[in-house]
Chains A and B, each alone.
Chain A
Amino acid sequence: MTTLTESLNPGALTSGRLPRMAEPGILIGAAIAGLTIAALIANGNIALGVVLAYVIFLITIEIVARIVEGPRQAADRRARSLIVGAFVLALIPLGSVTYEVVKNGMARFDLNYFSMSMRNIVGEGGGAAHAITGTLWVTGIASLISVPIGLMTAIYLSEYGARSKLAQSITFFVDVMTGIPSIVAGLFAYSLMAMLFGPGTVSGFAGSIALSVLMIPVVVRSCEELLRLVPNELREASYALGVPTWLTIVKVVVPTAISGIVSGVILAVARVIGETAPLLIAAGFTASLNNNPFSGPMMTLPVFVYDSYAHPGIPPQAYLDRAWAGALTLIVIVMVLNLTGRLIARRFAPKTGR
């Protein structure tokens, strides 16, 4: 693709070209100019300097390219500069979030944090073992509920539904479901439990139900998308061998898409593992370890983070440190999940030659 673009680049045939080094040169010049101006007028404010440098670069390259290469090439360069700029801009919040979380989280990211709960702990010390366990339980059960339902629905939509009324309405309502505010999901699970088991019943399982409501549509969307990408030739080959539809799906279609499905499921887990509002309402709050998801409140990491931040005791810093360490733990869990998911997917995916 790249070679194709370059060899067919029409600019070379019809108009002048800027020398290869022109763009980097202008970039360096703009950077120096921008930072100098910032140093002179704003006491060396780096952010202002970078913004100025970018603007100077955009203007200069636009003028130079317009003169040498003509308006079409200038537009091309402008678009590229803007697109690369957008990408760099988006890295700023990611970098900033990571930096803040790692910087503040390392203070309590120690062995005690993972081996102790908050039972009988006041002030400093303690850990989030109970919250980590709770998060694993709640998210695990939510996945056990959501993945089969989501995957089967996706199979229905891509393999059976075709363009039926039912399939269309399911697709539509799954999209609507992605927009359910997380707090509404929590309220729903809470009152469902209240209806079934009496008022005020909170448990890890109730939290799982709330998370499932949020997770199912994500699983459906990504699985459906991936099942549709499985080439029809594979299905037809299987049918031609006399394999029934359901076996074709189980043995051919799903395994072909398995790598994508796994990473889709992992992304769905990542999406709900950090949910706070529904768990606050549905899974409750405790300082002790609870390994029974069907009885009694169960602490989860996001709730632990939120609570440590929102209702600190004395000294407040100890609570804040635990909150940041919890945030760091959440991100690490999600990263590990992502990586394992991708590795498993790669390991088990059939070789498609694509």
Chain B
Amino acid sequence: MAEDRDDIQKFIEKWRDSAYGCFSSGHKFCREVCPVMQVTRNENHSPTAFHANIVAMEKGGLTLTDIAQDYVHCTLCGACELRCPNTLFTGDFYRHRTQTVKLVKAVRALAAASGIEQPNWKRWVEATVDRKNEPVLEVPVEQEHVADWAKGLDIPIGGETILFCDCEAAFYRTSVPRATAMMLKKAGVDFGLMREQWCCGGPAAEMGYVDHARSFAEHNIADWSAVGAKKIITLDPHDYITFTEDYPEFFGEDYDFEIVHITELVAELIREGRLELSREIRRVVTYHDPCRLNKRKGIYESPREILRSIPGLTFRDTDHVTQWSYCSGAGGGFSVERPDLAREISRRRMQRASELEVDTLVSACVWSERPLSASGREHNPGIEIRDLMELVAEAAGLDYGGVTR
């Protein structure tokens, strides 16, 4: 498929003014916080270049084919948007936030629609469509086993509140959803599972396959509506983004669900005394701010509040602003296309943790836990990767089981 001139023109018109906001500044303060740029040191991968390309396309200097490959080099973490002086110092007054994540997704979508496809993304999305769940590597994924993690926990199907368990947690690290579910039950939270949960569709949207993403969304929303759900609890920050950003964009005002991220809910349960953490955990930990929680959603207090309420824990924090430049390397489809670079991002994150002389790195994003564990095994064998919910369940005296890898 060739580049469609009308589509390209519409795309340029849509993004040009926003691109000039960056182009006119051109200061590149984003560059040294960008996790990918820190590793590749290649100006093509800088958020500034992502915007400048649009101006160059408008001027007839570059085509979609010239630029498409560069937009693979982004974890969609959002650090660049926060570090942009346009956002930092004029954002509130002008109601402006530099929109790089959306731009990258838009270019990827335009590229895929124009037949410029990335082979691993294509395979990944095809497999997701085929199995209704992401092809989580190393373990078999089949729709009929999507709720196997919940065996023996006696969780009902349906209800007003649904716990949405993403693919990685459902198939790969089942200790996370088990710990979460048991803890919620202990705190007296009523919730159920979907009748048939499919992938949230977020990864497909991030890789540029928006139609597929939308069909996943349609299925999931139909399932929620059928059981009368009003509130969705997400474990995974990626799902949280999909449900609060992609779904509203697909369905507009018709989409009316309360979306809650688990760390916000658990912090509240602890604060209100509904969840008691009494078992000591003798660990020296630091916390990894998941990009999508910290940088894209501004959720960085509740995980820290939770960690500080776990007895016995020594918490060596790195503040959330310093962590703008950190990433596990897992997000935005980046690791699927560029595993080599993603591994280096993971290594650097683990290096930062090891400098704090901790025995545990706690994350609140199950997708970050696999690459960080892999890197830890190779470079920092003294550091274990744990999910925040696993620690909370442990501190609540729960023996949650499941697989922790």
A and B physically associate: no
Write the residues of chain B forming the contact surface with A, with a CB cutoff of 8 angstroms: none
Chain A residues in contact with chain B, CB under 8 A? none
